[in-house]
Structure 1
Amino acid sequence: MARPQLEVLSKLDAAKTQWYHFTAIVIAGMGFFTDAYDLFCISLVTKLLGRIYYHIDGSPTPGSLPPNVAAAVNGVAFCGTLSGQLFFGWLGDKMGRKKVYGMTLMCMVLCSIASGLSFGQTPTSVMATLCFFRFWLGFGIGGDYPLSATIMSEYANKKTRGAFIAAVFAMQGFGILTGGVVTLVISSAFRAAFDAPAYKDGAMASTPPQADYVWRIILMFGAIPALMTYYWRMKMPETARYTALVAKNAKQAAADMSKVLQVEIGAEEDNNKAGGAVEENRNSFGLFSAEFLRRHGLHLLGTATCWFLLDIAFYSQNLFQKDIFTAINWIPKANTMSALEEVYRIARAQTLIALCGTVPGYWFTVALIDRIGRFWIQLGGFFFMTVFMLCLAAPYHHWTTPGNHIGFVVLYGLTFFFANFGPNSTTFIVPAEIFPARLRSTCHGISAAAGKLGAIIGSFGFLYLAQSQDPAKVDHGYKAGIGVRNSLFILSVCNFLGMGFTFLAPESNGLSLEELSGENEDGEDQPAPAHARTVPV
């Protein structure tokens, strides 16, 4: 049996969209802008790092990072992110969303700067220092996932909640795009200043000493957007749902929301008089208790597994675009370009994919998620990702022949479009809606951490497959091609499995957070809420 909802929460659910909602989107979204920039900008400079620190004097072949170093540089931030998602997700439920929010942002600012200042007397020590700071950068980034999603879901009204959370996550697309643009600008400036002598001397594969500044500036730029929003994050009040349902202070929740939203909210009664004592007994089950597993066990399995499978595909594609483009000869071989020219071409290719496929996909989700629903967008996204990856993998040798590269790039861009107009957005949104307030941040952190585990597997697995080769052929382009084709087949299987696990998470469209989590149900002996369906009716 459902009991009456607190007035402040009812007012939030029914509140009209207003200026503060957009302010909250920008404040929370700039964290994701920074997250995406910091996580993906490393893929733009890894080849440059190899040229600078691992070139053998006198060799005509440009240097490259050893496989173990490349794996560490690409994957260590994900290890930190996974740890941060679990830790800060748990802390957000214990201390409150606001108190923890500033910690994550400041960690990102300091570690972005420190990454660019990585020092050492040998290539190994420079890479070790870089990996150390990128681990802690990832740790701060990890905290931003559960906190941003939870804060936005708890501020939003139920009619447009999906669009608001999706808009926060969509800032990730602008972060990826900005990473490419910043790299284009910096590499162009350094090319104009320092590449000309190299071309005059005929040293096409040269690496000017000033190239060492390029990757450092690119990495440190990530501190700027995070620092710009720190003050505004600290001014945001605690969410009403945390204050009322977890801290048990409905009066303070009403006062906080009255300050920032243009809604008249009457003073709430003391929680004990308003049913707070009943709620304590009714909804006090712990994480992974029998009651939690009965009510939300399949939901958590669904959100975590879908995110895990999605990130295997999404992050391996993003991090190794440069290798894919080289394998299909869209980007020339390294020994035909200077180091700065190579950085420029990689950034140009990734910026084009972000502009045409990645960013539009996010905003299609924002526009349609509260009309179509989470379930159909996620199911459709996984389906089309499976189809397009199979279309790339099966006739792979056709795509690598001259004249067919444009077709490959178009299909490849569509996989990013349907990732973002699909599971890459919905896996972020749904865990912020379907779990109880006192466990919401923790469960989102667990789901997100499962995703980052998938990203780690994807990044290390793709690197391993890219090194596979036919013993009779040792040409690098052929070797990379075999690895790309195998990877695309495996990723298509991951996407297909994601379709199946999508059926475990409920459709949350149009329902209040309390209805979804069952927090309005009286008595622990009640069955799981009828609305916790997995397929819309």
Structure 2
Amino acid sequence: MATGHHLTTQEPQGEVMNYGLNAPHGPDMTGTHPIAVDANPDMTQNEREVFNYLLRPDDSYTENGVYWADLPIMQRIKFVNKVNNIESRRELGAFWTMFKNDPLAPIGFYMRNMVLPGAGLGLEGYVLFSIGNVKPLFQAVFPNCWSKYKVCNKQWIYAVDYLEIIGIIVGQIMVGIIGDWIGRRWGLIQDATIMFTGLIMLTASWGVTQNGWVICYAWSLFFYGIGVGGEYPMTATSGMENAVGSGKVSTRDDRLHRGRKVTSAFLMQGWGQFFNQVILILLLLIFHHGSGNPPYSALAAQWTYRVSFAIPAVGTAWLIYWRTFKVKAAANKQLRIAKAKNAVTGYDTQSLSLCFRYFGGRVLATAGTWYMNDVFFYGNKLFQSEFITVIMPSNKSIMPGWLYNLINVGVSLCGYYLASFLIDNKLYGRKHMMTLGFLMCFIFFVVPAFKYKYYTSPGHIKEFQAMYFLSSFFNQFGPNSVTFIAAAEVYPVAVRATAHGFSAACGKLGALTAAVVYNYLTTPQKFYFVPWFGLADTTGLDLKEQERRWAYIRAGREHEYHGVAVHPKHLSLYERFRGVGKDYNPDLDYKQRVEEMRGEWEMRMSERAAEKELDHEDFDDDHPSEVHSFFARSTKSPNLRGNENEKIPPMNGQNGTNGI
């Protein structure tokens, strides 16, 4: 870099891809200075500071350029706490400024950045768990069909749970592929449209006989479930990519708040459950003449459950409008960039193959832990009626069960929010949150399993209640939140929706396992069955530089990548065992990143020069300008392969900066 031709330090921290574009002449491409900036005695102090500012941000590196995960444990704790304290003060200051300018502005900010991205999951949570909530009402009003099976086929009653889950699995896999093939925005619109149609079917479901109504109801749930399933990969991938980018460009917000943003959208599922239960209680009181006590009329039951489905149908219709006319190019931006880099126009089958080859362990980890978690999660939800029976054995009303469920959902919401606050903490984060969540769920199920009579006796029923509610808290403040974000952030953009959808589908197999097995177990046996699924765990992984590492993998140069994406801290135990982290080398990585920045600058300047030549504004065939001569001279700079007599080639055969 020529003295005096340096970058201004006013550039946004971490926006590496814009490097040099605001400089008068950009970095020196003539090879005057070695790439090893820190080792270059001719490098000015200002130039060295600029490179460190861009490549070694102060939220991840010490003043000496040491990555936070490479620090000894006590220094690491001190560094992380310092960064967290600075960021907390900055956020509180920004909040206070926003509030002073407009007291309602923080609410608008929360709605735009957390509520709207998670609206689909909120509506999904409302309807998905409404099925379990209205079942006790059906059993009370239509006992010959829903509990005694005299006029309805028992298998079709069971199929209500099965078909819903199967529909979700179909949607997760199918829409995950569509999201990577056609785009995130189309997947979002398609999900909302399917859910809207399914809600109309549920609201209007009918039959000549009660059994015919049950069949219509079950298939309506299957169709609705397809849309629900698609919400998982679409919300996770689009929310993450819109909020933090593809991972190729690492920004401060990406590093410090990615998990919170995604989890804040995911927790709308909990609010959906909460509002569903509130609305069901209000509707039953309205249509049952202000009373929640039995006997319940068939008319009151019909109005209660049908109106409860009609309300989210209105919200879903608005969601279709929002996603069609308000969510535009941003939803597909990172996917388009990834496809353009690799000259892919349809589905990137090569990336899918490479993903299973290089990230097969991650696929097993995200899919396996999600399966284990959903046995817990749906086991807890499906266990609600038995829970009420245990604590209120003589109860005949459905209202106490609904009220207890409302408390349970409220406790779960506390877990969701605490997860959003701690999931990005480097000293706690995904790994420890997953481990602690599974461990506590295991304890809160296995303890009453071996002391069932003791904890269900009148003198100890409060302890039983506490353990049941705490299992809900730690499920959200643990595996349920972590599985959702981890299945999106550990995979490259090109196949992120597919991998997330596959992992989520495996999770729903866990839900299906719980739904099937619970039909054949007694209440004490269910306590014995569930806790053992909490003994599996996987190490949380960071999205940092995921796309940059993926570019090397796609180019067949996996071992030439030396960045923090292969730091042992960010690898699973299986990947460490395979030796993936052996290529980590911060010094070599620093040199490579400087070279990549130079290549990116060259590409941008070349594109601008080509545009000017076409317009005949600044370039002339007979009298080339100084900039044109500069680019001609700068094509003989060293590249990643070490060939100093060859122009920097793109890793993937396209115009670009080595595909990074």
- TM-score class, shorter-chain normalisation, is 0.7 to 0.9
Indicate the percent of aligned positions where both proteins have the same amino acid. 25
Partner of 2:585: none
Q: 1:360 to 1:21 in 2, by over 3 A?
A: closer
Match of 1:508 among 529, 538, 542: 542
In the TM superposition, residue 288 of structure 1 has moved relative to its aligned partner by: 5.6
Structure 1 CA distance, aligned partners of 2:490 and 2:446? 33
Q: 1:513 to 1:27 in 2, by over 3 A?
A: farther
Contact in 2 for aligned 1:285/1:292 (Cα 8 Å): no
Contact in 2 for aligned 1:75/1:456 (Cα 8 Å): yes
Contact in 2 for aligned 1:373/1:507 (Cα 8 Å): no
Contact in 1 for aligned 2:415/2:476 (Cα 8 Å): yes
Contact in 1 for aligned 2:206/2:212 (Cα 8 Å): yes
Secondary structure at the aligned position of 1:160 is classed as helix
Match of 1:47 among 126, 129, 136: 136
Q: 1:205 to 1:332 in 2, by over 3 A?
A: farther
Contact in 2 for aligned 1:51/1:64 (Cα 8 Å): no
1:365 aligns with 2:419: yes
Q: 1:136 to 1:24 in 2, by over 3 A?
A: farther
Out of 72-81 and 30-39, give the one that drifted further. 72-81
Q: CA offsets per residue over residues 136-192 of structure 1, 9 Å max, x none?
A: 110001111000000111122312110011011111111111111111111122232
Partner of 1:79: 166
> Once superposed, which parts of structure 1, at least 4 consecutive aligned residues long, lie more than 6 Å away?
16-21, 61-66
Contact in 1 for aligned 2:423/2:430 (Cα 8 Å): yes
Match of 2:458 among 402, 420, 440: 402
Contact in 1 for aligned 2:170/2:229 (Cα 8 Å): yes
Amino acid of the residue matched to residue 435 of structure 1? Y
In the TM superposition, residue 103 of structure 1 has moved relative to its aligned partner by: 1.1
Match of 1:414 among 453, 463, 470: 470
Contact in 2 for aligned 1:145/1:448 (Cα 8 Å): yes
In the TM superposition, residue 331 of structure 1 has moved relative to its aligned partner by: 6.0
Partner of 1:160: 257
Structure 1 CA distance, aligned partners of 2:109 and 2:554? 33
Partner of 1:487: 526
Partner of 2:122: 33
Partner of 1:214: 304
In the TM superposition, residue 316 of structure 1 has moved relative to its aligned partner by: 2.1
Query: Unpaired segments of 5 or more residues in structure 2?
Result: 1-14, 20-53, 60-89, 95-107, 245-253, 582-660
Q: 1:489 to 1:231 in 2, by over 3 A?
A: same
- For the aligned residue pairs, the C-alpha RMSD in angstroms reads 3.2
Partner of 1:141: 228
Structure 2 CA distance, aligned partners of 1:24 and 1:410? 34
Q: 1:324 to 1:514 in 2, by over 3 A?
A: same
Structure 2 CA distance, aligned partners of 1:284 and 1:55? 53
Query: Unpaired segments of 5 or more residues in structure 1?
Result: 249-275, 335-340, 466-482
Amino acid of the residue matched to residue 90 of structure 1? I
Q: 1:285 to 1:92 in 2, by over 3 A?
A: closer
Structure 2 CA distance, aligned partners of 1:207 and 1:374? 48
Partner of 1:312: 375
Match of 1:245 among 335, 338, 341: 338
Q: 1:485 to 1:227 in 2, by over 3 A?
A: same
TM-score, L = length of structure 2: 0.64
Out of 204-213 and 317-326, give the one that drifted further. 204-213
Q: CA offsets per residue over residues 84-113 of structure 1, 9 Å max, x none?
A: 000000000000101221110121122112
Alignment of structure 1 residues 101-120 onto 2, 5 Å? 101-120=188-207
In the TM superposition, residue 412 of structure 1 has moved relative to its aligned partner by: 0.5
Structure 2 CA distance, aligned partners of 1:284 and 1:137? 28
In the TM superposition, residue 303 of structure 1 has moved relative to its aligned partner by: 0.1
Contact in 1 for aligned 2:287/2:303 (Cα 8 Å): no
Structure 1 CA distance, aligned partners of 2:151 and 2:383? 14
Structure 2 CA distance, aligned partners of 1:242 and 1:194? 53
TM-score, L = length of structure 1: 0.78
Alignment of structure 1 residues 2-41 onto 2, 5 Å? 6-7=17-18, 23-41=112-130
Structure 1 CA distance, aligned partners of 2:482 and 2:338? 25
Structure 2 CA distance, aligned partners of 1:392 and 1:233? 46
Out of 388-397 and 231-240, give the one that drifted further. 231-240
Match of 1:150 among 237, 242, 252: 237
Secondary structure at the aligned position of 2:447 is classed as helix
Structure 2 CA distance, aligned partners of 1:458 and 1:6? 48
Partner of 2:572: 534
User: If you compute each CA radius of gyration, which structure gives the higher value, 1 or 2?
Assistant: 2
In the TM superposition, residue 332 of structure 1 has moved relative to its aligned partner by: 3.6
Structure 2 CA distance, aligned partners of 1:65 and 1:375? 47
Match of 1:431 among 487, 493, 501: 487
